[in-house]
Amino acid sequence: MNVRLLVLALLAEQPRHGYEIRKWLVDSHAEKWAEVKPYSVHHALTQLAKEGLAALDRVEPTARRDRSVYAITDDGREELRRLTRKLWGQLPNAYPASVYLLLTFVDVLPPAEVRSLAESLAHSLRAQLADWEAGQAAKTPLPPLWQAMFDNGRAHLRADLELVEAVLSAESLSPLPSR
């Protein structure tokens, strides 16, 4: 759903070709914050066109190959509104479910391996946090809603990092008591 909403929203701003949308996704790091992979754009455009939600606006010749520029249709605008309403109605995943699951069944792996994997996860979380901070610095000053998004993203990363650091500082990696 996210890729459909994002592509339709970008087409609602102005007609675009797939490479332009893909570049926007890469430049904005949407893979991290919107869970949209850049390689999914062309498939989404093709599907949206098949469904009548986007239409070929024009073809732009380039040195390598022609680029198909798509525009949103009236049905596409309605679908964008429907997807937006639906997403507003979904609760965000406010806790790291996969980490909780791993901690519930921590005894599946030897403690030394769990520590090694937790150290690797902590390293990844620190790198993500640094990426968020660099991204914010590059975009400063931010509109208030974007500032709130960056603050929220960093808060979630810090909370996840705090949990993993608690695992690393635990004297024992025994499973949770109530299984």
Q: DSSP 3-state assignment of 16?
A: strand
Q: Is 20 exposed, middle or buried (0-12, 13-18, 19+ CB in 10 A)?
A: middle
Q: What is the pLDDT of residues 52-101, one digit of tens each?
A: 999 999 998 888 888 999 999 999 999 999 999 998 888 777 778 888 88
More confident residue, 93 or 163: 163
H-assigned helices in the chain: 2-13, 18-28, 30-33, 41-50, 74-88, 97-104, 111-139, 144-169
The mean pLDDT of 114-119, rounded to a whole number, is: 91
Residue 127: predicted pLDDT: 93
Whether the pLDDT of residue 134 is over 90: the answer is no
